[in-house]
Homo-oligomer: A and B are copies of this chain.
C-alpha cells in the first residue's frame, strides 16, 4: 500500500461525504460522478482510490458502501476519538457546539480555560475546567486529539502541556507555528491567512477558481 499524500487525504474526506449523501438505492458510483461532485477529474479520483487498493469494477464503477467504509478505514474513522478543547472563547464555543464533530466520532469531553470567571460555567452539560489542571488530567486519562482556541500568546504554552500530557494530535486555531516533537501532528487553521488568500486572488486574477 502506497504513501498517501495530504491532498489525497483531503479529497478522500470529500468523497466520503458525497458517498454518504447518495440515495440508499444507489449501489455503485463512477469516478466521473465523484469527480463532478468534488470538482476534480475522473483520473484524479481513480488515482486517489487506487492509493489504497483497487476494488472498483470495470464497466460498473465503485460499490458505494464498500468504498465508504474503506475510506473510513483509511481516515481512521471506525473508532471514536476523545477530544479536549482549550480556550473557552467564542471560537471554542462554536467548535464545541459544532454537530459535525460528534457525527464523525470526535467527542469533545472537556473544555479548559484560564480566565477564572469562565471556570465552572457549563456549555451544554460540559463544565469548563481550569487550564491549570490540564496536564494532570491528561496524565490521569489520556485523550487522542486537542483543539487549541486560545489567544496566540498562550498557544505555545498550552501545546507544551498537551505534549507532556501525551497528546499526539493538535488542531490549532491560534495564528502561530507550534513547536512540538516529531511524533506529534499539528494542523493549524489560520483564519486571517484564508482571507489573505482571497485578497490575493482579488488583487490579481491569481490562483484562479479553486474549491
Contact = CB atoms under 8 A, between A and B. Distances in A.
Given A75-B199, A90-B94, A211 B178 contact: yes
Contacts of A185: 198, 201-202, 207-210
Interface string A96-109: 01101101101000
A122 B192 CA distance: 24
Interface in A168-205: 168-171, 175, 177-178, 180, 182-205
Nearest to A145: B198
How many subunits of this chain does the assembly comprise?
2
A39 interface: yes
Contacts of A17: 175
Contact of A211 (B186, B199, B202, B203): B186
A192 B38 contact: no
Contacts of A89: 94
State the majority secondary structure of interface residues on A: mixed
Interface string A29-52: 000000001110000000000000
Interface in A76-116: 76-77, 81, 83, 89-91, 93-95, 97-98, 100-101, 103-104, 106
Contacts of A4: 200, 206-207
A195 B93 contact: no
B10 A177 contact: no
Contacts of A83: 195
A191 B76 contact: no
Given A185-B209, A190-B13, A207-B6, A168 B104 contact: no
Which 5 pairs show the lowest CB-CB distances between chains A and B?
Answer: A76-B203, A90-B94, A76-B199, A13-B193, A169-B198
Given A13-B197, A144-B199, 10 more contacts: A6-B210, A10-B193, A76-B203, A90-B94, A93-B94, A101-B191, A145-B202, A170-B198, A187-B194, A189-B191
